[in-house]
Amino acid sequence: MNATERLEALVSIETPSGHAAGISAAYELVDEWLAPLLGPVRSHTVDGVVHARWGAARPRVLLLGHIDTVWPLGTIDRLPFALDGDRCTGPGVFDMKGGIVAMAAALALAGRTDDVGVLITGDEEVGSLTSRGLIESEASASEAVLVLEPSLGGAVKIARCGGSMYTLDVTGRAAHAGLEPWNGVNALVELAHQIIDVTTLADADLGTTVSPTVAHAGTVTNVIPEHATLRIDVRGWSVDELERVDRELRARVPVDSRARIDLSGGINRPPMEEHSSAALLALAREVTAALGDGELRAASVGGASDGNFTAALGVPTLDGLGPDGDGAHAEHEWASLASISQRARLVAGMIDGWNP
């Protein structure tokens, strides 16, 4: 199979987070590509989620990625894989199945793979709650980590915000909205106060964002809602900022003293700091120049990845080594077919050239 055929086959297997059958089928396909190069897959199941590992137990270079996507089952029927010139489209083609195809191609091109490992996880899009321990264990046994997440317009990613995820639950008291609304405690009204208030914890000068993202409340129109729920996404460039927001969220009290609020969740990924990528970025630029592919650009980005975990351990980490494209998590998602081949050459050169 060439790169286009591999990408179409992988994109056509739907792998939304939590869909065990699809994720397992995708691992089986990837194993067909990697097993001849690294040996058969070793599966790790954590709380029902399967993660896949190939190659050396203590690798000189660990290639890291994820198989799950944000797209629900049935999306492939509406947005099937398609190729228009250099532009490939389909659910997950950019984030990050194109990176996995590039990863397999890089391993086929590399001159040395006996001390290379691959870890592909199944729950990155929902916070890596079951894979974090495995990622950290494998990274700690490695000398460098190359993350095949998508690039930013062709730029590799040398720093990422850290992130936190929270759920705020409000409990009030139900009542008939027509007969005796005054006897109720409206959880939705309390939630509205909380939504506005938590946004004030952001700090634009420091790049800290606090974003209410999902809310649920109520049952039927004529009942005062007893329960309401809010999900909150927090991003920050420093651990201090993530910890500040965490403290302030945990100190929240209800505006209506008759209501109760409960906060769950916390800091999910530490920031990926720029110094963690310096040596690998220098190597990537050397390889790019040797390949005649021009200047390799680098960027700091707000989104987090599993590279945040590995960088926080002090393991040299370079992210965004996947293909060029755009539209991650959006219906216009696309990846450049030519860039998949270019990234494969770059990663192969880095595998061969990394000698700490």
CATH number of the domain encompassing residue 151: 3.40.630.10
- pLDDT band, very low/low/confident/very high, at 92 (cuts 50, 70, 90): very high
What is the predicted pLDDT for the residue at 302? 87
> Looking at residues 11-39, what average pLDDT do you find?
98
Q: Are residues 170 and 61 in the same domain?
A: no
User: Which pTM does this prediction carry?
Assistant: 0.87
Q: Are residues 246 and 286 in the same domain?
A: no
Write the CATH number for 166.
3.30.70.360
Q: Are residues 137 and 9 in the same domain?
A: yes
Question: Which structural domain range is residue 25 located in?
Answer: 3-161+271-353
> Looking at residues 2-8, what average pLDDT do you find?
96
> Looking at residues 114-135, what average pLDDT do you find?
97
CB 209 within 8 A of CB 302: yes
- pLDDT band, very low/low/confident/very high, at 1 (cuts 50, 70, 90): confident
Domain boundary among 252, 269, 286: 269
Q: Are residues 106 and 8 in the same domain?
A: yes
Q: How many residues does the chain have?
A: 356
What is the predicted pLDDT for the residue at 303? 86
**Per-residue pLDDT reduced to its tens digit, 146-160:** 999 999 999 999 999
Domain boundary among 269, 286, 307: 269
Domain boundary among 269, 296, 327: 269
**Interatomic CA distance for residues 317 and 308, integer angstroms:** 9
Q: Are residues 97 and 177 in the same domain?
A: no
**Per-residue pLDDT reduced to its tens digit, 64-82:** 999 999 999 999 999 999 9
- Number of domains forming the structure of the chain: 2
Residue percentage of the chain with pLDDT more than 90: 98
Closest Cα partner for 15 from 89, 92, 90, 103? 92
Q: Are residues 55 and 177 in the same domain?
A: no
Q: Are residues 145 and 259 in the same domain?
A: no
